[in-house]
Amino acid sequence: MEKKVSVLTPCFNGEDYIERYFDALLKQTYDNFEIVFVDDGSTDKTASIVKKYIKKFKDRNVELKYVYQENGGQASAINNGLKIISGDYLIWPDSDDYLEKNALKILAKELDKDESLSSVRGNVIYREDKTLKEIEIGKPEDKNKMDLFLDYLLFTKNVHCFVGIMMIRLKDFIEANKGLDISTSRAGQNWQILLPITYNRKCKYIDKNVYNYVVRQESHSHQKRSIEKELDKQKSHKNLLLEILNKIDITEKEKKIYCRMVNKKYNKIIIKLWIKTTLFGKFLLKIKNRGK
């Protein structure tokens, strides 16, 4: 009997791409899965498109659970979705990306083989928005490394994608996270899943393509931000990481070390950004740009 996989996805105004996302799920070669789709207050045709797919998935014996919430951000949407998932394993792709047809089978079967694994991950294919032409394939620098906590904490070259490529064992996440609730911060929702599940737990890499990441220039992660907004974002990331470190079971000695690492990394970024907001910093930046 196949273990049940929960596919949890938040979405805001996804009418332009969620049909592609759902069609890829309809083609999955793995049968025992559910979809929990959380609509984060969409104002376009997202709801009507999702409702058309409910019957299509029902015909395939797959339940598509549609949840609507007032706009609260991705972390809030994931938090609400986690309350109604019923699977043994969890994967959380973005609605503007899509899974390879064998993705669920590849990842679930690897977790089935080894109970000592809390998570598994594969490769991501980065694709152009308009043509879906392949840009590159993301793979980790160290393919044999199974302890990824520091890599996700500090975002090293062993991290090539935060969503869609990883499947986790839900009971291990509940134990590591002390439940299913995550903070509803507007930034960094993926860290709230990745850090608890990778601390003192093994994640195996599988050298197979499982996820297609569509690089949309207008997406939230690719928008050009003002220096002030970028400053706020980096401060939020730092504070969230420190909050997660204080939540998970970790020795005080390690916690101090990791908190110091986070503070050092983000304070350096924040100071550089802050200098750019001062008159002197803007003057130096103007001189630098003039010389180009």
What per-residue confidence (pLDDT) applies to 36? 98
pLDDT of 222 > 50? The answer is no
Which pairs from 172-178 meet CB under 8 Å and 24+ separation? 172/118, 172/119, 172/197, 172/201, 173/90, 173/118, 173/197, 176/118, 176/201, 176/248, 176/249, 177/247, 177/248, 178/247, 178/248, 178/249
pLDDT of 289 > 70? The answer is no
DSSP code of 30? -
Is 161 in a helix, a strand, or coil? Answer: coil
Which pairs from 248-255 meet CB under 8 Å and 24+ separation? 248/176, 248/177, 248/178, 248/195, 248/196, 248/199, 249/176, 249/178, 249/199, 250/199
Paired with 99 in beta bridges are 211
Report the alpha-carbon distance of residue 172 to residue 176 in Å, rounded. 6
- Phi, psi for residue 285 in degrees, rounded to 5: -65, -40
Residue type, 117: L
What per-residue confidence (pLDDT) applies to 285? 56
Contact call for residues 55 and 66 (beta carbons, < 8 A)? no
**What pLDDT digit, counting tens, does each position of 109-139 carry?**
999 999 999 999 999 999 999 999 999 999 9
What per-residue confidence (pLDDT) applies to 46? 98
Kind and range of the H or E element at 15? none
Strands 166-169 and 98-99 come out as: unpaired
Average pLDDT, the chain: 92
Q: Taking residues 243-258, what's their average pLDDT?
A: 94
- CA separation (Å) from 154 to 169, 201, 238, 256? 23, 17, 10, 15
Report the alpha-carbon distance of residue 174 to residue 270 in Å, rounded. 33
**What pLDDT digit, counting tens, does each position of 155-183 carry?**
999 998 999 999 999 999 999 999 999 98
pLDDT level of residue 223 (50, 70, 90 thresholds): very low
